[in-house]
Amino acid sequence: MKYRILIVLFLSSVLVLQGCASKEASVNYNNSETEIVSVNDPLEKVNRVVFQFNIIFDKLILRPIAVTYRAIVPEFVRNRVTYSLNNLGMPITAVNNVLQGELRKAGVSTSRFIINSTVGILGFFDPAASMGLVSENEDFGQTLSVWGVESGPYLVLPFLGPSTPRDFAGMLSTSLLDPMYQVGGGSAPDSLRTYRMGTGAVDFRSQNIEILDDLQNNSIDYYAAVRSFYSQGRESQASNNLEINTQDQENDIFDDFDIDESYVGPDIEIIYD
């Protein structure tokens, strides 16, 4: 236990230091002439190999489980599972709200957990939301980002999928910060954690069967598509917290391509089969 805390502290400090250093290094990266959107992926070759491995793992194990799960479990029950997973994540969210200095949000998250665990029958329902108590999930990776830690290069982890050094460190520390783990320490919280990880993966996968199938079949470059989805998703979660309007930054991307209106393009007839 103590050993694990040391690892987290070590990783966090390395990341904070590296975050300071990388601000200088990133200048060169943006000067590259061929790329307008700079994608931070120096390990692309290795990542692509791990990505291929994950696709096989998904094809053989995760996707079949998710398909079966959706086929045999009624929608009502599956929605209850999604709710209960959200509820089990609330204590972690509350801790991270505090670490991010968001005491009001921490109040909302805590109230949500208390209300939904009791009135909402072990979190299977969400009466707190109908009372106006709504909150976003927060993890330690997002807290590190609020603390100014740069995400670092894109990483694809075996089994776990897309990540970055910051998010991986956040994931490792999340279990340490989880109040349910700290308070209980025994077998009950452990099995809840296993439920959350295992069922969480199946719940997520079963909600995205068609989307991921389509993405895989219709991609020009599936690896790059997933990388973009992950990076954009994490960035938008982080910007929710930083209270900096990244809208401006995003508009730069949209504006930076100056629109060539001179070439209108052919009048193409719409053909489909």
Partner 1 sequence: MIKIKNYSWILIFLLSFAAYAQSSQFAQEEEFVSNFADKAIEILSDESISENDKTSRFTNVVMNAIDLNLISKFVLSKTWKNSTDEQKERYLIAFKDYFINSYANKLDQYSGEQVQIVGSEAAGKYVIVESNIVREGTDTLKINLKWRLINRDGDIKIIDLNIEGISLVIAQREEFQSFLANNDNDIEKLIDKIITVSN
Span of 33-41, 146-154, 174-182, 193-201 interacting with partner 1 by CB under 8 A: 33-41
Given 5, 14, 36, 46, the residue binding partner 1 (CB under 8 A): 36
* Amino acid (one-letter) located at 177: L
Name residues contacting partner 1, limited to 243-262 (CB under 8 A): 247-248, 250-251, 253-255, 257, 259-260
- Using alpha carbons, select from 169, 148, 166, 150 the residue that is nearest to residue 101: 148
Using the minimum distance from each CB to partner 1, give the nearer residue, 2 or 45. 45
> What are 201's two structure tokens?
């993966």
Other beta carbons within 10 angstroms of residue 54's beta carbon come to 19
| 30 forms part of the interface with partner 1 (CB under 8 A) | no
DSSP code string of 32-87: -SS-SS----TTHHHHHHHHHHHHHHIIIIIHHHHHHHHHHS-HHHHHHHHHHHHH
Name residues contacting partner 1, limited to 126-155 (CB under 8 A): 126, 129-130, 132-134
| 82 forms part of the interface with partner 1 (CB under 8 A) | yes
- Using alpha carbons, select from 165, 171, 90 the residue that is nearest to residue 126: 90
Other beta carbons within 10 angstroms of residue 170's beta carbon come to 25
Binding region for partner 1 (CB under 8 A): 34-37, 39, 75-76, 79, 82-83, 103-108, 110-111, 126, 129-130, 132-134, 210, 214, 217-221, 223-225, 227-229, 232-233, 235-237, 247-248, 250-251, 253-255, 257, 259-260, 263-266, 268, 270-273
